Structure 1
Amino acid sequence: MNSAIVAVLLLVLMGLAYQIGWSRSHGVAPTGGRLHSRPNYHGALTAIWALVPALLVFGLWALFGDTASRAFIISNLPPEVSSLGGQELEGAIRRIRQIASGFGVVGETQPYENLAGQALREFQTFSFALVIAAAAGLGALALFAARRRIAPQLRARNEVERVVFFLLLACSAVAILTTVGIVASLLTEAIRFFTFVSPVDFFFGTVWNPRFSSVGAGSGEYGLLPLLWGTLMVATIAMLVALPIGLMTAIYLSQYAPAKVRNTVKPVVEILAGIPTIVYGFFALVTVGPFLAGIGQSLGLQIRATSAMTAGIVMGIMIIPFISSLSDDILRQVPRAMRDGSLGLGATQSETIKRVILPAALPGIVGAFLLAVSRAIGETMIVVLAAGNSPYLRLNLGEAVSTVTVTIVNQLTGDTDFASPQSLVAFALGLTLFAMTLVLNVVALYIVRRYREQYE
């Protein structure tokens, strides 16, 4: 279906319906009286009435059009071909579709394929014209029905607001159902994984070696602790980098910087948030890692180019604008009267920041910190490229580690049948990661709401 023609039809129908409804409301307005709703509400209601049947026609064709064209193709195939099953029949249908689309097929075409492709092309043209005519016709009928309803007492505003309410409710339901679907899919596959591996071995195991063994019931060792340790190590390094720099940046921008400097520096800092994480990973791999390795060699320390330190430092740089922007907004919400009162009592600017502004903004800053931690725990591309993918329990920050996100990528890369523990473990890891970030977000929201100061 040509989407451009559909969009043009819907726009024309909507614009025409709105104009007719708007004009009709002016025509039925009593002399010296008033309408219940303004003319723009009558126009909007007429446009809604005209769009609903047209969208319903297009929606039905989008749902059942492919099935109809498939049945048409099968009806035009010779009996010896249409009686085939499985991949052979699907391959024949695919060749007919390609011939009808004009892209061509591999190999020499059979006469029945050319005839079927020509018939399918004609069927698609006819069906598209029929759908367009049906949508336009039903939309026009609904338009004139809505036009006849327009009267001074028609509560057009109430009906339009009711439609908008249900649209907003549907959008909210989509967001909620999407979250529920993600959690349900993770939980279902994680339960399947725990039929292969004991939850105790998974959550408290210290060895990660997901090998495959065809002898007996052995299927590798799936200890979560090495991955969890690597995740927390990288996230801790990232926060040690991001928190002081981000907080000091926020204090400078909100308390010291002139307006011109603030308006220039803040967008520059926030550019860091717009850089793709794969670029950060590449930067860590080719620049930061070798730089740290060189420093370690000059100091007599062994620091690998791909290590927890490399991934943590670069991840901290990425999170700086996250903390600085949130902290800056929180610091600026502290009433100026508190700052002026402290200065008026003889405190210096630094004393005012330490003893008045920061304590007042502390709950919000702690909330921003916890949200940044959840962002660091869920980061993938930087640790995939810079952490080294070595799932062992280590205390040395200069050694390679592996994280939960890196392991999810590894387990779902390549040929996966989602029937073995080697693939299903990714869902258990994802559920664990989801639970960790959810707890951090809930704690952050609790702290912000529990200790938030209300100022007039």
Structure 2
Amino acid sequence: MSTSTILIIVFVIAAIGAVLGYRRARGFRSEDGKRLHSRPVYHASYVVSWALIPSLLVLAAWLIVSPILIQITVRGDFPDNVLAQSALTEDLAYGMIESLGAGLTVLPDDERAEVSDQTPIAELTPMLQRRGMPVASATADWMVPLALQRNALQSISGIAMTVTVILLAAAGAFWGYRRLALRLRARNQVESVVNVMLIVASSIAILTTVGIIFSMLFETIDFFGRISPMEFFFGTTWEPRFSAAGSGGTEGQFGLIPLLAGTLYIGSVAMLVAVPIGLFAAIYMAEYARNSTRSVVKPLLEILAGIPTIVYGFFALVTVGPFLRDLSSQLSGLVSGDYAPFIQAQSVLTAGLVMGIMLIPFVSSLSDDIITSVPRSLRDGALGLGATRSEMIKQVVLPAALPGIVSALLLTASRAIGETMIVVLAAGVAATITINPFEAMTTITVKIVQQLTGDLEFTSPQTLVAFALGITLFVITLCLNVYALYIVRKYKEQYE
């Protein structure tokens, strides 16, 4: 039985328990002056909690643990010559067994009955290929019995999981129903369950951050065990070379400075474009626009935030880059008669301009919310003292909203630093150091993608460097976010 079917059955059991619990709570009568402690809806929720929580926890644990145990069991029966090889070889062999087992499940019953431990892979391959299931050329005869064993273990595990979860849901609903009583503190217990769920939900962000750090940390440590941190953080040349057979193991150079310079340079150009436009748009919508105009302008402006970044990349590659190149060619021809363009189609300016357009809704939306949250009494006081509307905005509203605006700009800068697709298409992949915005540069995120593109093993500095780049970028954006929170907390009480 599929997991979705099990979930449907469990929720049906919980719903039946809720209806019965609600009816039973409605039937309670006051005794000796005692009244029903909790409303019937809490009694129904109490039964639902007993039906859902234990069964869903067991289901989640079973789905996580069962594949691990099955894999351990199957891999324990590998031939000795396979177990003597590397862990990567074992992983590849188990992957082929998984594919073979999945193919066996699509065979008709009569053909599946013909397959046994002694069936050679040469005989089994045509049967699977007729059903649209490809078989890897490296699949060996010894994998057939292990695939059958894996399928049998999965079948047993699925049946046991189905019976256990459904019985647990029914038993939980029955137990919760039997515990219903006139003075049962159902509301308190249900609220305790909700409180725990809220704590778990709020912990997801923390756990996700910790998971991100540890997913990169160990690989980064491995990288720095091979490449000096001084060479990485202070090197000015980025030229990682993948070693080929007979190359002598040349690793190349892993200088971060060109990538960091490109990241900050392109991000700065984008902020120079996004901040004035976004901030002026926010001031207009918050202070000058009528409600009818605001209701139209703000949604239209925020449509930009919903456009995929790859579309912005296409826009830069097809429209903005060629336009700037042709414009510079015409300008150079007017000055010197030579129509050679001095702005490349892929350049810092192209990427920064398009990325700035993408960031405008982030700046305008956040700044608009912050400006509109400034108390109306400050505006009325300034106007009452004779200030004009522009003076009121410059001398009262913007200083009051400045901490929040700075925080919004720092968060927007974090978004700019992490952008990838626009830079790939608009700025290129050249890891160079230049102050000329008309030339190509690249960023950290682009090189992370480039180093991990293809079928690679995480056993060389050329691939492990992606994790070092990732954790460096993570630290940069984390520092920006922490500084933004620091500014808000330090100055927000001045105008409360």
TM-score by length of 1: 0.89
Corresponding residue for 1:196? 226
CA shift in 2, pair 1:257/1:210, >3 Å: same
Partners of 1:311 and 1:387 within 8 A in 2: yes
Q: CA deviation at 1:454?
A: 5.1
CA distance in 1, matches of 2:69, 2:474: 42
> Which one-letter code corresponds to 1:431 in the other structure?
I
The one of 338, 345, 348 equivalent to 2:385 is: 345
Corresponding residue for 2:24? 24
Q: CA deviation at 1:349?
A: 1.4
Corresponding residue for 1:174? 204
Q: CA deviation at 1:389?
A: 1.2
Q: CA deviation at 1:53?
A: 4.0
Q: CA deviation at 1:84?
A: 8.9
> Which one-letter code corresponds to 1:34 in the other structure?
R
Corresponding residue for 2:255? 223
CA distance in 2, matches of 1:152, 1:351: 66
1:90-239 aligned within 5 A: 91=96, 94-102=99-107, 106-108=125-127, 128=158, 131-212=161-242, 218-239=250-271
Corresponding residue for 1:306? 346
The one of 277, 280, 292 equivalent to 2:324 is: 292
CA distance in 2, matches of 1:239, 1:307: 16
CA distance in 1, matches of 2:157, 2:483: 56
- Asked whether 1:447 is paired with 2:477, we answer no
Identity of aligned residues (%): 51
CA shift in 2, pair 1:425/1:357, >3 Å: same
SS in 2 for 1:452: helix
CA shift in 2, pair 1:382/1:70, >3 Å: closer
Q: CA deviation at 1:88?
A: 6.3
CA distance in 2, matches of 1:33, 1:125: 53
- Asked whether 1:44 is paired with 2:83, we answer no
SS in 2 for 1:415: coil
TM-score by length of 2: 0.82
Q: CA deviation at 1:415?
A: 3.0
Corresponding residue for 1:278? 310
CA distance in 1, matches of 2:240, 2:14: 58
> Which one-letter code corresponds to 1:154 in the other structure?
L
CA shift in 2, pair 1:365/1:70, >3 Å: closer
> Which one-letter code corresponds to 2:451 in the other structure?
Q
Corresponding residue for 1:6? 6
CA shift in 2, pair 1:118/1:187, >3 Å: closer
For structure 2, the 5+ residue unaligned runs are: 83-89, 113-123, 129-141, 333-340
Q: CA deviation at 1:424?
A: 1.2
> Which one-letter code corresponds to 1:48 in the other structure?
S
Q: CA deviation at 1:138?
A: 3.0
CA shift in 2, pair 1:387/1:259, >3 Å: same
1:411-440 CA-to-partner distances (Å, cap 9, x unmatched) read: 111232112111111111111111111111
CA shift in 2, pair 1:156/1:231, >3 Å: same
CA RMSD of aligned residues (A): 3.3
CA distance in 2, matches of 1:366, 1:90: 51
Of 18-27 and 99-108, more deviation after overlay is shown by: 99-108
